[in-house]
Chains A and B, each alone.
Chain A
Amino acid sequence: MRAPRLVVGALVLAAAFAARAAEPGFGLPHDASLDGHRVDELIHFTIWATGILFAVMVVWMLVAVFRHGPSHAPSPARGDDRRSAIGVLALAAVVFLVVDGNLFFHSVSDLDRHFWNYAVAEQSPGAVLIELNAHQWAWDLRYAGPDGQFNTADDVVSLNDLRVPVDAPVVLQITSTDVLHSLYLPNFRVKQDAVPGSVTRLWFQAKETGVFEMGCAQHCGPNHYKMRGVLTVLPRAEYDAWLASASADGRRGWDPDDASAHWGWAWRRTEP
């Protein structure tokens, strides 16, 4: 009756490592971003570290159950002496410092220097600034157009269609007009909630052209599952050309009296 424990243990270990395997079936989505690999590397480090810890635990339990079964004479050790206590605490501390410590420092560094450094991203040459209004159940996007101001006649406004140039920082300011949503870019490893009444931010940089998906990652009503957008990464020249022609279209279609169309806001500069 104890043999199946081995099977279970083996199954789980296999599952733990399969997640890391190069199997295309269940791997991470394709990474089209400049910094996404940092997330992937940290995930893989964590899989190794936790996998080893888990494997040690399972093997330990299996050995105990098999080798220290009913016919084994139990030790009366209580573990309440100072030496044992120090040993336990030391082991916990070592694991904490090695695993958790690594996680903490890498995570903080990645946030400060690559994911949440909005000021640097915004001020980079060629940065693209976009406003996003999430609502049930689509993504409204707004580009400032040649005049560089949001909510003006030359804005480019699109629905579920996010176009960006390759190799340039794209900074989004995000809000919602109804309920919570969350902008999720799986191929760029980032997301951020869209909160009614506030403006949140997200930035990324694409390292290759292509067509990718935007998803909603916060339950927002029955059609939450359909809130899919398309993210198209274009070569810079194509992007500029598109922006110019879309802006001209926008200017033609501008209606000064349509208040609900003017949902944009003055860009909130991030202090460095």
Chain B
Amino acid sequence: MSEPVHALSEPFELQPIHPPPKSFLRRWVFSTDHKVIARQFLWAGLLFLLLGGLLAMLIRWQWAYPGEKVPAVLGGFLFRESGGVIGPANYQTLFTSHGLIMIFFAITPILIGAFGNFLIPLQIGARDMAFPKLNMLSFWTFALSQVLVLLSFQARLGPAGAGWTTYPPLSTSVGTPGAGQSLMVAAIFVTGVATIMGSINYVTTVIRLRAPGMTYMRLPLAVWGLWLTAILNVLFVPVLGSAALLLFLDRNFGTQFFIAGAAAVRGGGDPILFQHLFWIFGHPEVYILILPAWGVVGDLVSFFARKPAFWYRGTVWSMVTVTVMSAIVYGHHMYMTGMNPLLGKGFMALTLLISVPAMVLFIDWLLTLWQGSIRTTVPMLFTLGVIFVFGLGGLTGLFLGDISLDLYLHDTMFVVGHFHLTMAAASFLASFAAIYFWFPKMFGKQLDQRLGKAHFWISVVGITLVFGGQLVAGYAGQQRRLYDPFQYQFLAHLRGLNRWTSYFAFTLAAGQLLFVWNWFATLFGKGRPAGENPWQVGTLEWTNAATPPAHHNYDVIPTVLHGPHEFADPAVRAALGRDWLGQAERAPGPREASR
């Protein structure tokens, strides 16, 4: 199916080339250049990833050595009042802020803020986003939300402590009084605003600014993932906003949307209402966090197997199906709230059904690998790692989707292992696949590949052992969010398991230092220069843009002739001496290849 080539002048009129800004503030601080904004999100996200990771290590310390002093200067600094010991109140802050920070202030800015911003205009053949100023505002709004998080830690009555899920009544002023929780709720609202701003840009840009010939079915899968994520963000982050706003009203203006029980006046509100609103956002949110990862995986398996992505259309339609179904499965987070059994069974059926498109994705990836010519580069290793951990994590979802199993497994460490494998580990590994893959294009240098491989192995083995260990603990019945699980006799024998899981976690964390070293040494040291297209792939950012790309991305807006996975074509090999064809490159031979 070929598309008529548009007159080259049209996109020019839409995207004139502006000269790059001169002042420091306009170039690096209040930049409207999507590539600069991408780097801002990347730094901000990586910083909070470190913070979130530190919080996780403190949680694991508490589970390994309940009630013991956190070692070295860290304990003395963080828990001064209690002599370095993590107390129960501090502990709830740890797991609350760990979850919120990792989801909203680490993975979201890295995968969606940074890679969304960097890749979308470049990969669709545009000069920038549709609304560059809005883009700039979205970063600074996000930065403000990060500041609010940090401020919430200073509150006199303590920071937020009701879990990342912020369920009322515990999260109302009845359960958690003071400015800390309110500031955290405000931070969530503000980061939601930033996300919506960014997502408006992503959705509109993909619709409006694709280069001539870049049909939807020629988009790189990374763009599909990011675009579908943006659509979900646009639709469902506002629902979180409504829940956060109503909670804010309950906390500060005496309203009673969620307050019930002894503190309620005249019948009271409904705490479960919050759960409905939260999970109508929350379930799409997990797909928001994974769709970009799936997209990156879909592209990279093809790139490094040197084979077309198997059944590209099927992959796209599976991602779309998951997107469409994402909100209607939300009730599986609420099976134990006393909901109507018929409603519960409906949610169970839909939850099991949503595994079908996910299976199609996996089969497509596995068939892309099969009969390929696989190069185990660092990005490819991380990509295989994503498939591995998401496979494991996704399968554990089958347990939790059944109500009769959830009777036992709900709110145990099995849930924690499940969502860490699917949401955290998969996005984490995909983020690094993306970083190692696009680092050369972003910065013009190559990260050290040996350090990268070591980073990969420690990460994937560590992840498997840590979160696998959590699955085992949950299977044995250990609840989540327990300051000291060993108050329960039926869990006393799990001390060893928890301690070893913590050791693996500390190792996993230490392994990340390999990346930190690699990152700083390459960026600020000499660093190996990267070629124009070191991975030898055909997407537009590698074939038509400089390294790093110019301010205006493309001197000439390319005209796209093929999809992004043109590999293994003997005619190309014969004519051009390589196994790949660029998206804007004319195919050799008399007939114009147009897929």
Contacts and interface: CB of A to CB of B under 8 A. Distances in A.
- The short answer to whether A and B are in direct contact, CB under 8 Å, is yes
B372 A75 contact: yes
A118 B307 CA distance: 57
B392 A221 contact: no
A69 B480 CA distance: 42
B373 A95 contact: no
B87 to A, nearest CB: 8
Nearest to B349: A104
A29 B337 contact: no
B364 A57 contact: no
A207 interface: no
A217 to B, nearest CB: 4
A12 B355 CA distance: 22
A229 B178 CA distance: 31
B352 A26 contact: no
A79 to B, nearest CB: 4
Contacts of A91: 359, 363
Interface stretch (B7-15, B169-177, B288-296, B426-434): B169-177
A209 interface: no
A158 to B, nearest CB: 19
Interface string B72-96: 0000000000000001110110000
B20 interface: no
Given A100-B398, A184-B479, A225-B485, A177 B261 contact: yes
A54 B395 contact: yes
Interface string B195-238: 00000000000000000000000000000000000000000000
A12 B392 contact: yes
Contacts of A89: 314, 360
A166 to B, nearest CB: 19
Contacts of B404: 38-39, 42, 106-107, 110-111, 115
Interface size class of B (residues with CB under 8 A): 35 or more
B307 A77 contact: yes
B270 interface: yes
Contact of B408 (A191, A196, A220): A191
B170 to A, nearest CB: 4
B170 A219 contact: yes
A192 B338 contact: yes
Contacts of B25: none
A48 B270 CA distance: 40
A124 to B, nearest CB: 19
Interface string A54-76: 10011011001100111111111
Given A77-B310, A189-B408, A99 B398 contact: yes
Contacts of A69: 373-376
A192 B337 CA distance: 7
Interface stretch (B31-39, B124-132, B453-461): B453-461
Interface stretch (A1-9, A146-154, A246-254): A1-9
B510 interface: no
Given A76-B567, A115-B407, A224-B483, A178 B355 contact: no
Interface string A108-131: 101110011000000000000000
A224 B162 CA distance: 11
B341 interface: yes
Interface string B149-190: 000000000000111000111100011000000000000000
Interface of A: 1-2, 4, 8, 11-12, 15, 18-19, 24-30, 38-39, 42-43, 46, 49-50, 53-54, 57-58, 60-61, 64-65, 68-80, 84-85, 88-89, 91-93, 95-96, 99-100, 103-104, 106-108, 110-112, 115-116, 176-180, 182, 184, 186-187, 189-193, 195-201, 212-213, 215-226, 228
23 contacts: A25-B496, A26-B497, A38-B404, A49-B398, A60-B366, A60-B370, A61-B388, A64-B374, A68-B373, A70-B373, A76-B568, A79-B308, A80-B311, A88-B363, A96-B355, A100-B355, A111-B403, A115-B404, A179-B170, A186-B408, A199-B338, A219-B170, A224-B92
